Structure 1
Amino acid sequence: MTKNNPCVILPSGFQFDYTNLFGEGKITARDVGELSSRLEEAHQAVARMRLTGEVKGHLSKDGLPEKVLFTRLPDLDSGRINSRESLQRLKDFGQSLVNRVDAVISFGIGGSYLGNKVLFDIHAGEFWNVKTAAERNGYPKLYFSGNNIDPRRTGELISLIQSEARAGAADRDQPYRVTLIVISKSGSTLDTMSTFMVAYQELKAMAPLIEVQVVAVTDPAAGADRTLLRKLADDQGWPCFSVPDGVGGRFSIFSEVGLVTGACIGFDLEAFLAGAGDMDILCRTPDVYANPAMLNAALKYIAAEKYGRDIEVFMPYGDYLKSVAEWYIQLLAESLGKRCDREGREVFYGRTPVVAVGTTDMHSQTQQHQDGKHDKVLQFVRVAYWGNDPVIPDIFPGVAKLSEIAGLHLGQALDAALESNAAALAADHRFNATFVLPKLDAYHLGELLYLLALSVAYEGELANVDAFDQPGVESYKRILGPRLKEMKMKR
């Protein structure tokens, strides 16, 4: 945990190995030292945000002062956003689905999809929906929609649910039960609400063969301040969970927005938040070399600003970690891709994020990483222990090339590929670093995602940009609304 040992190892076993990012021919201790006063200011700003929710110059999209509260989400004891009672309500909701609901469809976009997909992939995996109910411990199948206005996929998903209901009708003495979870803070999110309304109508029309329940996740405001979706939920009698104030979509995985999906599949919500909370505590030190979130921010900031590495390739090794990379892409792009600094000066800050997966993209992108421009920093994620880790059998002993790899676990081969990729890149002064998760579970996932969320807060301070607004997103929305109205008038 010092500048002479380029690897932060946490008590949990989680590691941030920045060997290939720090030292001679890379980012130096002097580079970091030159940032010392700004790092101190950044640390104080993040501490103030953690304590008060206040971030210098941050305004809501309506131009009003707005607090930033994502750092409060792991703390169940304060009861300020999440609490033991709210977590129990989520778990009770999940249990209410067990052996009663056949399928859940989660409608959301941005963080309301990407974060939820991470929890699903890590806990359930690709083949969840083809397992038997017993193999799922009675939890329902789970599908995602609303993350694109795609006519074909929306129609095919509805047809699938209808077909499943028809196929099992003769063997059931009850309807095929579907729960639709619609996630939108405002209730006017085009992608989410349009696909939800199509599915709701089509599935409701199948009564009594299909029984539809709706759960809304939206702004908790009551009375005259109710959002469109909250009013609709109240009118229809739908149960509600909250999109909390002060928590942007890209940070909402730690709130009911993401946790509601975890509850539907039996994901360990407490362990996930505990991992995030423990990471938060460890990142309260002002020592940059012992604070993995601040260190990660400093190294990436220096890599971009001093060494021109303004593309970040996030490359976990493992199929089910691809959604983590996709979640991070939104986090990085919306938080740090900014035209202006806090004083209104045009700075055009931010790294272009790229999703990759090892070993898959070693056979597609690595050619560019290794021989293309020196404009990239690569961030690997490694899982140290896989649990079920098959041994490659020696079933073709007469084939030397195949026999050479026999006896290795698949996880060992995956590690060798990562290490070889990292070493080849480092040999050509290609910046890269590795996060190591002791195993792929809820706790260590919480550590990783929270570290990344806190890192963009630190880097926003270093770059003097607001890491919590997204004015570029609002630009197209101002054009889209009138265009849709114009299209409807021409019908």
Structure 2
Amino acid sequence: MKKLKFFYEGAMAGLIGPEHGISEEELEQEAKRLSPYVSMMQQTAARASTRSAYIDERASINLPLDEEMRQKVKHLARDKRERGIECLVVIGIGGSNLGTIAVKDALLGKLYNQLPSCSPKILFADTVDNDYIADLLEVVEQILKRGGKVLLNVVTKSGSTTETVANFELFLEVLRRYYPKDYADYVVITTDKNSKLWDLAEGRFDRLEIPHQVGGRYSVFSPVGLFPLTMLGIDIDKLCEGAKIMRQMCLEEEIRRNPAALSALIQYIQETKKQKPINVNFFFSRELNSLGYWYRQLMGESIGKEQKLTGQRANLGITPVVAVGSVDLHSVAQLFLAGPNDKYTNFIKVAAQSRQSLRVPDSPEVDTLAENLAGKSFPEVMEAIFGGTVAAYLENRRPSTATVLPERSEYTVGQWLQWKMMEMIYLGALYEVNPFDQPKVEDYKKVTREILKAGRYGEQNPYQKREDNRC
């Protein structure tokens, strides 16, 4: 089986020196702190095939082994696909859709919807930006007007997310107009069994359960991600098989054989001892960069905390940044290589292309414009750029690691997702924070509800009260 490879020498003192690189002693010292938590993860993993599989917050690591859940997802998806669905609209935000977008882009490509042979198309309603949703609604209505079938998948852990509820009711109203008798057959609800939405959907819509202890950003291997991905024809068994293989590796007690523990340690030491508070995921594959946006939420909400588990105020966190090679070498590489040495970069690339290699024409004019380019394949050019970038990082003593996916497939993408979720759990242990909650997100939600209740939409804007600070 093809496994990911993780190269971490570029973050170590042996290559870039002790000021910005990690020594073997530093790695070993911090690794001792993780050993008890690896044991706790093993205990959670041991319950995977029991009724206690989902009794603690680490339970997301057991999702790839839940075959009963996958069978329910596949059965429902098969039923909906048989209805001739032309367009799937996923209504959700944050952890309710970022994983789906990431896997879809990685496996089917960013231009999937534009390819005439691909069906169903997929759209995401993840905002209350009026103009964007109006455009989305227009696209959906065009499909419905010509007799096409549209399926809504409403995804929300709490069942009461403001943006999701608003979009659900809006799109449901449209469905009712076109399918007055059987509109309910074109709605699938994915939520927690304890939510009001679950109760509301009972007897009306098909429902898929998100296990109560599985948080949104850790839910890509639950029906949150698996149902829409199955609708698109993605093999979720292979996706979960890759996750299972990585899960086993990330339960290893020997830290250097445990990718999640090792990468968590490197990030933790780079931030706390080498003053690198910014994490850059630099994808040398445009199709993979949505994995970076998924990871951005995973890291931002899991590690960005006001206080430790002890109650000590700490304001901890690492700022996640996404970059794309070679595009961003022409925008932020100057900053990354010459600006403050406050970033740790993980390069991600794919070893084998999914499509036939393109080639630069072998003509005299090419050499006139750019030397040594004529006749080269695009993968060869990208590999040269990647090699040049890594060399520049080492020369400028900028800490970096590299992750190589053998190919873009369900199996390898499943590995990457599981690795990063387990990495984040270990990182939470190192920082001594809860990687499963996001209490400060409630601040904006609380005020939002108050504004909506009062109906005074401008008065709560703090900037509007400061006339003297306006230009």
Task: Provide the TM-score with structure 1 as the length reference.
Answer: 0.86
Q: CA deviation at 1:408?
A: 2.3
- 2:32 corresponding residue in structure 1: 37
- 2:91 corresponding residue in structure 1: 107
Q: Tell me if the contact between 1:176 and 1:209 (Cα under 8 Å) persists in the aligned partners.
A: no
Q: Tell me if the contact between 1:98 and 1:140 (Cα under 8 Å) persists in the aligned partners.
A: no
- 1:485 corresponding residue in structure 2: 453
CA–CA distance in structure 2, aligned partners of residues 220 and 287 of structure 1: 38
- 1:342 corresponding residue in structure 2: 309
Alignment deviations for residues 226-250 of structure 1 (CA, whole Å, 9 cap, x no partner): x221122115x21011111111111
- Equivalent residues in 2 for 1:18-97 (5 A)? 18-24=8-14, 25=17, 26-51=21-46, 67-75=57-65, 82-83=66-67, 85-96=68-79, 97=81
- 1:163 corresponding residue in structure 2: 142
Alignment deviations for residues 278-332 of structure 1 (CA, whole Å, 9 cap, x no partner): 1111122211111111100111111111100110011111111111000000011
Q: CA deviation at 1:402?
A: 4.0
- 1:130 corresponding residue in structure 2: 114
Question: Which residue of the other structure, out of 170, 190, 193, is the alignment partner of 1:220?
Answer: 193
CA–CA distance in structure 1, aligned partners of residues 43 and 139 of structure 2: 50
Q: Does 1:380 align with 2:347?
A: yes
Question: Which residue of the other structure, out of 167, 181, 200, is the alignment partner of 1:232?
Answer: 200
**Partner SS for 1:373:** coil
Match for 2:23: what amino acid? Answer: T
Q: Tell me if the contact between 1:389 and 1:411 (Cα under 8 Å) persists in the aligned partners.
A: no
- 2:376 corresponding residue in structure 1: 408
Alignment coverage as a number of residue pairs: 445
Q: Tell me if the contact between 2:44 and 2:56 (Cα under 8 Å) persists in the aligned partners.
A: no
**Partner SS for 2:364:** coil
User: For residues 339 and 34 of structure 1, do their structure 2 counterparts lie closer, same or farther at Cα, with a shift above 3 Å needed?
Assistant: same
Match for 2:74: what amino acid? Answer: K
User: For residues 429 and 489 of structure 1, do their structure 2 counterparts lie closer, same or farther at Cα, with a shift above 3 Å needed?
Assistant: closer
Question: Which residue of the other structure, out of 375, 390, 395, is the alignment partner of 1:422?
Answer: 390
Q: CA deviation at 1:463?
A: 1.4
Q: Does 1:188 align with 2:156?
A: no
Q: Tell me if the contact between 1:102 and 1:140 (Cα under 8 Å) persists in the aligned partners.
A: yes
Q: CA deviation at 1:483?
A: 1.6
User: For residues 239 and 419 of structure 1, do their structure 2 counterparts lie closer, same or farther at Cα, with a shift above 3 Å needed?
Assistant: same
CA–CA distance in structure 2, aligned partners of residues 475 and 469 of structure 1: 13
Unaligned stretches of 5+ residues in structure 2: 49-54, 459-471
Q: CA deviation at 1:122?
A: 2.1
Unaligned stretches of 5+ residues in structure 1: 1-10, 54-64, 76-81, 170-174, 222-226
Q: Tell me if the contact between 1:91 and 1:263 (Cα under 8 Å) persists in the aligned partners.
A: yes
CA–CA distance in structure 2, aligned partners of residues 392 and 348 of structure 1: 50
- 1:365 corresponding residue in structure 2: 332
**Partner SS for 2:321:** strand
CA–CA distance in structure 2, aligned partners of residues 239 and 165 of structure 1: 21
Question: Which residue of the other structure, out of 454, 457, 460, is the alignment partner of 2:425?
Answer: 457
CA–CA distance in structure 1, aligned partners of residues 140 and 432 of structure 2: 49
- 1:120 corresponding residue in structure 2: 104
Match for 2:110: what amino acid? Answer: E
CA–CA distance in structure 2, aligned partners of residues 265 and 278 of structure 1: 24
**Partner SS for 2:358:** coil
Match for 2:7: what amino acid? Answer: D
User: For residues 126 and 210 of structure 1, do their structure 2 counterparts lie closer, same or farther at Cα, with a shift above 3 Å needed?
Assistant: farther
Q: Tell me if the contact between 2:366 and 2:374 (Cα under 8 Å) persists in the aligned partners.
A: no
- 1:4 corresponding residue in structure 2: none
Q: CA deviation at 1:262?
A: 0.6
User: For residues 128 and 387 of structure 1, do their structure 2 counterparts lie closer, same or farther at Cα, with a shift above 3 Å needed?
Assistant: closer
**Partner SS for 1:386:** coil
**Partner SS for 1:444:** helix
User: For residues 189 and 208 of structure 1, do their structure 2 counterparts lie closer, same or farther at Cα, with a shift above 3 Å needed?
Assistant: closer
CA–CA distance in structure 2, aligned partners of residues 373 and 402 of structure 1: 32
Q: Tell me if the contact between 2:201 and 2:207 (Cα under 8 Å) persists in the aligned partners.
A: yes
Q: CA deviation at 1:98?
A: 4.5
Q: Tell me if the contact between 1:106 and 1:182 (Cα under 8 Å) persists in the aligned partners.
A: yes
Alignment deviations for residues 443-468 of structure 1 (CA, whole Å, 9 cap, x no partner): 10011111111111111111111111
Match for 1:341: what amino acid? Answer: K
Q: CA deviation at 1:403?
A: 6.1
CA–CA distance in structure 2, aligned partners of residues 399 and 258 of structure 1: 45
User: For residues 393 and 417 of structure 1, do their structure 2 counterparts lie closer, same or farther at Cα, with a shift above 3 Å needed?
Assistant: closer
- 1:59 corresponding residue in structure 2: none
Alignment deviations for residues 190-223 of structure 1 (CA, whole Å, 9 cap, x no partner): 11110121122134224579967111001124xx
Q: CA deviation at 1:49?
A: 4.1
Q: CA deviation at 1:264?
A: 0.9
Divergent runs of 4+, >4 A: 207-212
User: For residues 271 and 207 of structure 1, do their structure 2 counterparts lie closer, same or farther at Cα, with a shift above 3 Å needed?
Assistant: closer
Q: CA deviation at 1:373?
A: 0.6
- 2:469 corresponding residue in structure 1: none
28-37 or 326-335, larger mean C-alpha shift: 28-37
Q: Tell me if the contact between 1:106 and 1:143 (Cα under 8 Å) persists in the aligned partners.
A: yes
User: For residues 303 and 293 of structure 1, do their structure 2 counterparts lie closer, same or farther at Cα, with a shift above 3 Å needed?
Assistant: same
